[in-house]
Amino acid sequence: MKLPALSFQSIFGKATLAALALGGFLFLVGAPSAMANDWDNYNRRVSYTEWRYREAVEHFGPYSGQARHWAHERHEAYERREHYRHEWREHHRDRDDYDRGWDRR
């Protein structure tokens, strides 16, 4: 039995269209996961460790193991934020110097 060529073309076309639609959907679904709010994440981490430190001091005392642990975590969170801030400034300083070079020409 011979099948008409038109049905194969329509099946192939539908499969191609479905694959493109699915690929486009998956591509667009992944876009919100890209994070551009690093600064907010660092500030959130600092706030969280600050809160945990205060809670540990309130419940266990300032010289307890829990308070020391959260004081250490708080210190690391501040260091990470300052490191990010320094890298951001260096990157933008270099970019601004490059941009100023174009203005001089």
Q: Which amino acid is at 77?
A: A
Q: Is residue 3 part of a domain?
A: no
* pLDDT band at residue 44 using 50, 70 and 90 as cut-offs: very high
Q: Is residue 104 part of a domain?
A: yes
Q: Is residue 9 part of a domain?
A: no
Neighbours of 42 (CB within 10 A): 18
Q: Is residue 18 part of a domain?
A: no
Q: Which residue has the higher pLDDT, 95 or 75?
A: 75
Q: Which amino acid is at 85?
A: R
Q: Is residue 28 part of a domain?
A: no
Q: Is residue 79 part of a domain?
A: yes
Q: Is residue 42 part of a domain?
A: yes
The percentage of the chain sitting over the pLDDT mark of 70, rounded to a whole number, equals: 72
pLDDT higher than threshold 60 for residue 46: yes
Is the whole model's pTM more than 0.75, yes or no?
A: no
Q: What DSSP line would sit under 65-85, residue for residue?
A: HHHHHHHHHHHHHHHHHHHHH
Q: Is residue 23 part of a domain?
A: no
* pLDDT band at residue 31 using 50, 70 and 90 as cut-offs: low
Closest CA to 80 of 42, 51, 52: 42
Domain that holds residue 71: 36-105
Mean pLDDT across the chain, nearest whole number?
80
Number of domains present in the structure of the chain? 1
